[in-house]
A and B are shown apart, each in its own frame.
Chain A
Amino acid sequence: MNGKIYEVAVDQTGKRKFLVSIANETFECHSFRSDDIISWSVHRGDKTLHARARSLHFDRVDVWLAGTPFQAFVHAPSGGHYRSVDTAGSNASGGEIRAAMPGRITSVLVKLNEQVESGAPLLILESMKMQNEIVSPKSGRVKSIRVVDGATVKKDSVLIEID
């Protein structure tokens, strides 16, 4: 989770059967329904989990397990070996404050060049009837404000930059 990297070895053992190794653990994966979204049963020891997965690009895979979505970027440095990175948890980079959800900016609470403390409220983003207070992840100066009151924003769009 949160950008964790797994080194994975894959070995095909049958038409729809695979043996997967991660660290010292072995997983048996069977696929049993193939349309856009492929069903998998994953056995590890005596534990079996059902997963659903679909490929988006050649290296991006969406996996759903136990009701939870995972997004993986798979790097293949050599045949049979893969690195899976779950990207679902990481959306903050540097001082850019991004919208964690689509919605509407109800109010911007800071001014350009203002000094803010870590945890200080920066703006309020309304989505699904909820007012979400977006707070600063660090102390610093408000370098840019990319939105105005009432603006609609897409998920992941940059709202504010903190130096």
Chain B
Amino acid sequence: MKTKLLIANRGEIALRIIRTCRKLGIRTVAVYSDVDQESLPVAYADERYALHGITPSETYLSISKIIEAAIETKCDGVHPGYGFLSEDSAFVRACKEANLIFVGPTAEAISKVGNKLDARKTMHEAGIPLIPGTDEPVKDEYEAAEFAKKAGYPVILKAVYGGGGRGMRIANTDDEVRRFYRVTKLEAASSFGRDLLYVEKRLRSPRHVEIQALANSGNVISLGERECSIQRRYQKLVEEAPSIAVNDELRKQLNDATKKGLGAAGYTNAGTVEFLIDQENKFYFLEVNKRLQVEHVVTELTTGIDIVEEQLRIAFESQLNLSQNEIHVNGWAINMRINAEDPRRDFTPSPGTVIQFHAPSGPGIRIDSHLYSGYSIPEYYDSLIAKLSAWGRERTEAIRRMQNALEEIEILGVPTTIPLYRVLLRDKAFVNGQFDTTYLNTFGAKLNSELLDLGVYAAAVAAVMCSTNLPLRHRLQQRFHRSHWKTSARTSNQRRDM
């Protein structure tokens, strides 16, 4: 394609998009904040453009700066990646006015499924079941509590303009509604620029399943489902394709609902319709993700389709080159999101410098990451630092490959979610596919007891390190004579024999 594309994003997804552009011969422009200057996408892109500033609002969320960058570098279009401006209709309009092609849905399609309340309305009209919720944003915490009283607890407070699992809190009591209302509103304002909230009833132990779709002017094809039930705080951590919980009948229902819903919205480009599945296998519409998703990788592994390439073809050539009967789901794929977060401390963010990074490999392994040894993970953006995916002919093979990869991968310097996944992959319920969105809630204790067992190994290594540590040895030699060292070593042997 003879095109030049600005990538209005950072980190692993910017890198991911650049890779496809290189394959297609599309020239790329990377934009970057002050702290991202030395990041991999900036190094890999054909051109780079400084946004000047650090916080998202003065850089990757600044419509005027991004548009200016695209015009100055003479780009034909913009790929927004996920997060930031990817679902912002004002940005889509600004691109149009500047004669830039936005790689994503049209402003008209976005307005039909733009925010969560609009999407619920569109889907409801298309006959897709909804979870009970308020039709309008709530005015204050008291109105939120009022809905909760009617619908019954637990409920979820949701940012109307939210996405990607941010700006959501479950509340179990009136008191929690009041407390979480404030935090959720703040989070909504800082992440999405608008702080309107609405309230939904929370289903008991649902599964989260979503359909990846590609569309062109309401002509929709499905690339199959993804299972995304392993979450914490509404952030997906592990995704699979296909879902062990979806049988052929449910799959057909979900695919039909997706085609009907996105068709009614006249949807264009890549999109995902998310559903919750209750314990009776009934499905409910959750939301539409109008962008490339983090977990698109698992669908690429099972279908062999480069979703970013299809996005670019739809955006620049106005055509969907694939038809439904060309889509075949082959084997099984699992993705694990490696975040700079400490799973031992309730997923506390852990930005910092990566001293050492080693990527795993082998048949069926894919890693999407912008890390390198010496890279400094900034505290201003998302905590996702790597996506590790494994493909297998069946689920068991994918799990085994993932286990190996998790043994091999090395990210030293910051706590990550890796230990959680190592424990998870050995957990019977996970291996048997018996889990829902509440699965991780009780996982902390299991993880901590496993890690407690490792403490003694760490103590052994630490002690040996000090015994071989030169400065220490010098000090010891000053304090104790060499013969004394030997004597005490013997003492330790005797002690062990006891």
Contact count A vs B, C-beta below 8 Å:
211
Whether B455 contacts A133 by the Cβ 8 Å rule is no
For A136, what are the chain B residues with a Cβ–Cβ distance below 8 Å? none
Whether B492 contacts A9 by the Cβ 8 Å rule is yes
The contact of A6 among B191, B451, B459, by CB within 8 Å, is B459
How far is A129 from B488 in the complex, measured between Cα atoms in Å?
Answer: 53
A20-B484 in contact given A74-B466, A102-B379, A128-B379 (Cβ < 8 Å) = no
How far is A19 from B457 in the complex, measured between Cα atoms in Å?
Answer: 12
Whether A80 contacts B351 by the Cβ 8 Å rule is no
A38 within 8 A of B: yes
Tell me the A residues contacting B by CB distance below 8 Å: 1, 4, 6, 8-12, 18-22, 25-27, 29, 31, 36-38, 40, 42, 44, 49, 51-55, 58-59, 61-70, 72, 74, 76, 78-82, 84, 86, 88-89, 100-103, 106-107, 121, 124, 126-133
For B187, what are the chain A residues with a Cβ–Cβ distance below 8 Å? 130-131
Give 18 CB contacts A-B under 8 Å.
A6-B456, A9-B492, A10-B463, A21-B495, A27-B460, A29-B460, A53-B465, A66-B419, A68-B344, A72-B462, A74-B466, A76-B466, A84-B462, A102-B351, A103-B349, A127-B351, A128-B349, A133-B179
Interface of B is mostly: helix
From 440 to 498 in chain B, residues with beta carbon under 8 angstroms from any chain A beta carbon are 448, 451-452, 454-469, 471-472, 475-476, 480, 484-485, 488-489, 491-493, 495-496
Whether A55 contacts B466 by the Cβ 8 Å rule is yes
Instruction: Count how many chain B residues have C-beta atoms less than 8 Å from C-beta atoms of the other chain.
Output: 67
How far is A25 from B493 in the complex, measured between Cα atoms in Å?
Answer: 12
B333 within 8 A of A: no
Whether B492 contacts A11 by the Cβ 8 Å rule is yes
Interface of A is mostly: strand
Chain A residue nearest to B477 (CB atoms) is A79
Whether B466 contacts A82 by the Cβ 8 Å rule is yes
Whether A55 contacts B469 by the Cβ 8 Å rule is yes
A9-B472 in contact given A72-B459, A79-B484 (Cβ < 8 Å) = no
B190 within 8 A of A: yes
For A38, what are the chain B residues with a Cβ–Cβ distance below 8 Å? 465
For A89, what are the chain B residues with a Cβ–Cβ distance below 8 Å? 344
Give chain A nearest CB distance to B162 CB in angstroms.
12
Whether A18 contacts B351 by the Cβ 8 Å rule is no
Chain B residue nearest to A126 (CB atoms) is B190
How far is A58 from B465 in the complex, measured between Cα atoms in Å?
Answer: 9
How far is A80 from B190 in the complex, measured between Cα atoms in Å?
Answer: 54
How far is A70 from B344 in the complex, measured between Cα atoms in Å?
Answer: 12
B43 within 8 A of A: no
